[in-house]
Chain A
Amino acid sequence: MALFSVPDIKISGIAACVPEDVYHNCEYDWVEEKERATLIRTIGVEQKRHARKGTTTADLCYDAAEKLLELLRWERKDIELVIFVSQSRDYIIPATAGLLQDRLRLSHATMAFDIGLGCSGYVYGLSVIGSLMSTGRIKKALLFTGDISTLNTSFRDKSAFPLFGDAGTATALEYSPGAKPMVFNLQTDGSGYDAILIPDGGIRNFADKETSFEYHKISEGIYRNGFNIALDGIQVFNFSLREVKRNVNRLMEFAGTSLDEVDYLVLHQANKLMNETIRKQLKLSPVKVPLSLKEYGNTSSASIPLTMVTQIREELEAGTSRLLLSGFGVGLSWGSVLLETDHLQCPVILVHPNP
């Protein structure tokens, strides 16, 4: 089991950025009004942000990073590592992390690469960036997470369209000897790779002008083409309800602590029913488990930092917080981290103007 602890790394700041356009689910006329109301109540998403074609995840991450660097007054030459965690990169090749290194005017001594994860991406990203910094004594680093999921979602898919929103985030980390360790529990079950899937456009099902663009009826109210996100709701649901609590409990045991000692559990924002069920399983009160679903929907790997920025920003800025972060979904991949933040720089959520 991938249970380990990463010492000497401090999170200095977190910023999140969303595109300008707001989509209100009450306008989702692909389904009848009554069903729409049940859907909104169950998934808990009233509105979310949609990027227009031309805006990329990296654009949102760039804005977040510029704001963070301005607040932290970091010297750009001190940043030696950039990781971009996303499933919506700028190009098929090259990696987007390099584009961000250049746009942010970081030095050529910067190590930069992408990680292709979604729901679990923030926790995985922290584990990779933290470990590299810790062993390499890298002074300063930037972790980017986020996705533009709405461009790949079929409007005529009631199981996916109302759920996803777009966002990008930047997290600034520093090598800080003596900082409280981050403790991780990371897991994978690739047999569930098709629970959340975009089937075409990769090498397995290479983009094909005859078949990839054709819409198929999957079931009532669900039509998709090969480039659209396909969600197997029940499979993801059962997986999350089974594994998240186990993962969290095992981490608590390994770290020698309990959920009572944690100020906030920040979950990946999957949907309200799922998040509330996990909260009830872990017997935590709603105030300890913040949600950003209502305003931003499911924002993939951005959802944990976005929830921190939009729901508990003032507490994070004012003092010390003991946090448990847990991401779970596409892969299937899941993981949790226990960490402590201290006077985080946490600007109010940024809005990226339409091109």
Chain B
Amino acid sequence: MNISDFIAKVEAEFEDVEPGTLTPSTILKEAFTWDSVNALIFLAHVNVEYDVEISANELIEAVSINDLYELVESKLIKIA
């Protein structure tokens, strides 16, 4: 997994995000409606794509796209 690949997949997952608009420093709340429904869509996406589970508390702490990426990556390292 690398961050550009991660971003491309997140962009494809959310209907209200234009492809190519997200960067590692994008603030989640500014880019799209970062509400509970979109949080669930994100949880489902990383579960199928990377087979990782993220809790509500971990998700609340993420501010930027890079935070999400690092969160998923830290779980992948634990599995490996």
Q: Which of A207-215, A231-239, A317-325 contacts B (4 or more CB under 8 A)?
A: A231-239
Chain A nearest CB from B27 CB (Å) reads 19
Q: Which of B2-10, B17-25, B37-45, B72-80 contacts A (4 or more CB under 8 A)?
A: B37-45
**Known pairs A234-B55, A234-B56, A235-B56; A241 contacts B47 (CB<8 A):** yes
What's the count of A-B pairs with C-beta under 8 Å? 47
Is there a chain A Cβ closer than 8 Å to B33's Cβ? Answer: yes
Chain B nearest CB from A58 CB (Å) reads 34
B-side binding surface: helix, strand, loop or mixed? helix
Which single member of B15, B16, B37, B47 contacts A277 (CB below 8 Å)? B47
**Known pairs A42-B41, A235-B56, A242-B53; A159 contacts B48 (CB<8 A):** no
Q: Which B residues are in CB contact (< 8 Å) with A242?
A: 53
A-side binding surface: helix, strand, loop or mixed? helix
Find out whether the CB atom of B53 lies under 8 angstroms from the CB atom of A233. Answer: no
Given contacts A42-B40, A234-B36, 18 further A-B contacts (CB under 8 A): A35-B33, A35-B37, A38-B16, A39-B37, A234-B43, A234-B56, A234-B59, A235-B56, A237-B43, A238-B54, A238-B55, A241-B47, A273-B44, A276-B44, A277-B44, A277-B47, A277-B48, A281-B48
Interface residues on B, range: 10 to 19
Find out whether the CB atom of B40 lies under 8 angstroms from the CB atom of A237. Answer: yes
Q: List 21 A-B contacts (CB under 8 A).
A: A35-B33, A35-B35, A35-B37, A38-B16, A38-B33, A38-B38, A39-B37, A159-B36, A233-B36, A233-B40, A234-B36, A234-B40, A234-B43, A234-B55, A234-B56, A238-B53, A241-B47, A273-B40, A277-B48, A281-B47, A281-B48
Which residue, of B35, B39, B40, B48, has the highest number of chain A Cβ atoms within 10 A?
B40
Is there a chain B Cβ closer than 8 Å to A217's Cβ? Answer: no
Is there a chain B Cβ closer than 8 Å to A77's Cβ? Answer: no
A199-212 CB contact bits vs B (8 Å, 1 = yes)? 00000000000000
Find out whether the CB atom of A238 lies under 8 angstroms from the CB atom of B43. Answer: yes
Interface residues on A, range: 10 to 19
Q: Which A residues are in CB contact (< 8 Å) with B38?
A: 38
Chain A nearest CB from B64 CB (Å) reads 20
Is there a chain B Cβ closer than 8 Å to A274's Cβ? Answer: yes
- Per the bound structure, the CA–CA distance linking A234 and B36 in Å amounts to 8
Find out whether the CB atom of B39 lies under 8 angstroms from the CB atom of A234. Answer: yes
A266-286 CB contact bits vs B (8 Å, 1 = yes)? 000000011011001100000
- Per the bound structure, the CA–CA distance linking A235 and B36 in Å amounts to 12
Find out whether the CB atom of A273 lies under 8 angstroms from the CB atom of B41. Answer: yes
- Per the bound structure, the CA–CA distance linking A281 and B49 in Å amounts to 9
Q: Which A residues are in CB contact (< 8 Å) with B36?
A: 159, 233-234
Q: Which B residues are in CB contact (< 8 Å) with A234?
A: 36, 39-40, 43, 55-56, 59
Chain B nearest CB from A222 CB (Å) reads 9
A155-166 CB contact bits vs B (8 Å, 1 = yes)? 000010000000
- Per the bound structure, the CA–CA distance linking A6 and B11 in Å amounts to 48
Chain A nearest CB from B78 CB (Å) reads 15
Across the A-B interface, the 3 shortest Cβ-Cβ residue pairs: A234-B56, A277-B44, A280-B48
Q: Which A residues are in CB contact (< 8 Å) with B44?
A: 237, 241, 273-274, 276-277
